[in-house]
Amino acid sequence: MFACLLCRVRAPKCVARSCVGSFANTRHLTDTCSDKGPIRIGCASGFWGDTATSVPQLIHGGKLDFLVFDYLSEITMSLLTAAKAKAPNLGYAPDFVHAALAPSIHEIHRKGVRVVSNAGGVNPLACAAAIQDVVKKAGLDLKVAVVTGDDLMAHRSRLAEVKMADDGSSHALPKTLHSMNAYLGALPIRRCLDLGADIVVTGRCVDSALALGPLMHSFRWGKSDLDLLAAGSLAGHLIECGAQSTGGIFTDWHRVPDWDNIGFPVVECSADGSFVLSKPPKTGGLVAFGTVAEQLVYEIGDPRRYVLPDVVCDFSRVLIQEVPGIDGGAVKVSGAKGFAPSPNYKVCATYMDGFRATAVCPLGGPRATEKARKTAESIVKRVKRIFEHLRLEDFSAVNIQVLGAEDTYGANGSNKDAREAVLWLAVHHKDKKALELFSREIAAAGTGMAPGLCGIVGGRPRVSPVLKPLFFLHPKSQLQLDIYVDGQWVESLSEAEPDTPEPEAPLDCAEEAPDAALPSGPHCYRLEDMAYARSGDKGDSANIGVIARDARLYPYLKKHLTASVVEEYLAHLFPPGLHGAVTRYTLPGINGLNFVLKNSLGGGGVASLRSDPQGKALAQMLLDLKLRGLPDLTTMLG
């Protein structure tokens, strides 16, 4: 029987499970056996394609205990699924192995930094094998652990009907199903670290779990520590998108210095759930109330009921306070509340839904907008005539946008007579051969239609399959997760809780009601003058978070920026006949509003034919909205 020399107790009573058995690793015993001081976690990637320059800055300047990498989105999962279908050893993010880990593996080992990433995508075991090759070539001894079990394709025959995540209705799965992956939680990541893993690789999990798992391991937080789990999930949520919380895509982008060397986020977390968010010294970017508040509202729905596998979080009363005197800025974050988790996993499935092709053509000269539109309409008309001749069906969908003419703004656009424009012509069809015909007809516009067409960006449009997402719920009790260490299966576990009821949403917040007796006046202000804003996507829905620049402006935002105002301003985004498409929630802790826009992205992701399929520019568009009937706010604010 082994004894833990650091905590001076015999192994069966030792709280550090890593002290027992063949996976003992004395370098990590102090992580779990002593009363821990703050734990520092840095995030080096917010998506597959993020800069690899983040890794050395965090390793050398972050003073880290853990380094996490987030690579997965719904679109990324679709791409990785398609890659694995072509080659069984693909399906993970190779950048993680070759661009992030390999160049810095010696420094990671020397500094004792432990790594957690969801870079495994749809093939985490293959990702781990590639990492082990890197470790072996470096002559190091690092334990690589893997979490599997999120892939539900093996359960397909038992899933005759599934419960939709958005409305609870039951539907049969599509016959062209391509992938199914559950969003796992932090418990299996914690277990890998308990077993002494130096590097943990997962498939699909919620992004925040990459930070919550290390915190649960380090501080021995249990399943019943709901407020702590919510605080750890909030820390993970704020850093999961990399530089977005340190000044990236900030509303006041002109205030953010040195984008070329932008710092990546570090959270310093204590055992009581409190934490400070900052970035490495001597890096660019900015950590301030606005940058972090924008990230808080990013891609959330009801902030009082942010559902994660480990905990249901209430972020509505979270406070963000700037900490003075820290290079590059820092904020202290507090106020997250936690409730019992759902008995179900959210699952993202993808299914084949025909094919798409997109032509992008710049045009110049007088009346460029008119030329672009007529060119697109003529190409579509010509191809439809070919379809009729060959007895092919019509396009399933066609999207014509003239970028530069502000088509994305709908009726709010104002630049209709641009002398430079870019034609965006995207089409969908169930038959690949039909789109190959479309692709061949684009170039003819260069000699047979309007003058000034400069070329086709990327050459002849590529025909690609459409993998459309759908989201449903699956009982945790029916899913077994497996853990591997250094290529060997170690154990299975479940994240299910016995007899856990589905959590109910908190009661409506009194903050939803507008403040009474607010003064009015003759003044008009652009929303950007009053607020920060950030937009994101979930499938075919988008959200726009709006945060008051000053607490005194918040009552005016609540009164004037209603769900109906936002729906009317962005009416061109929604399918015809859809009413009640926008829901508003309040976040009084940060003086913020969150708007959820249903069915606003034309299918979302690769299923959308729009130039902004993830709603990245929606907040920027909303910032141009003019709020009228206001008093002189400049005088009020001094």
Question: Which of the four pLDDT bands, split at 50, 70 and 90, describes residue 82?
Answer: confident
pLDDT band at 514; cut points 50, 70, 90: low
Q: Are residues 515 and 595 in the same domain?
A: yes
pLDDT attached to residue 512? 65
Whether residue 22 is predicted with pLDDT greater than 60 in this model: the reply is no
Whether 332 and 382 map to the same domain: the answer is: no
Decide if 5 is inside a domain: no
C-alpha to C-alpha distance for 535 and 521, rounded to whole angstroms: 30
Average of pLDDT values for 214-243? 97
Same-domain check for residues 313 and 366: no
Cα angle value 264/614/527 (rounded, 5°) = 80
pLDDT of residue 414: 82
Q: Which domain holds residue 305?
A: 32-149+184-342
Q: What is the mean pLDDT of residues 424-442?
A: 98
Residue 407 has pLDDT above 60, yes or no: yes
Enumerate residues 6+ apart whose C-beta is below 8 A from 372: 361, 363, 402, 405, 421, 422, 423, 450
Phi, psi of 211 (to 5 degrees): -95, -35
297 shares its domain with 429 = no
For residue 119, the model assigns a pLDDT of 97
> Is residue 584, in this structure, part of any structural domain at all?
yes
Return the ∠ at Cα 431 (arms to 427 and 435), rounded to 5°: 40
Q: What confidence score (pLDDT) does residue 21 get?
A: 34
Q: Do 232 and 327 reside in the same domain of the chain?
A: yes
- Domain assignment present for residue 154? The answer is no
Q: Check residue 499 and give its pLDDT.
A: 63
DSSP secondary structure letter of residue 604: -
User: Per the domain annotation, does 560 fall within a domain?
Assistant: yes
- The last residue of one of the domains, among 468, 488, 518, is 468
Same domain flag for 79 and 104: yes
In this predicted structure, what is the pLDDT of residue 511? 57
Domain end among 468, 496, 521: 468
Of 37-46, 422-431, 452-461, 496-505, the least confident: 496-505
Looking at the fold, whether 193 and 323 belong to one and the same domain comes out as: yes
Backbone dihedral region for residue 568 (phi beyond 0: left; psi -120 to 50: alpha; all else: beta): alpha
Q: How many domains does the chain have?
A: 3
Residues 423 and 321 in one domain: no
**Rounded distance, CA 422 to CA 363, Å?**
6
Q: Are residues 428 and 552 in the same domain?
A: no
- Same domain, yes or no, for 449 and 554? no
- Would 569 be classed as within a structural domain? yes
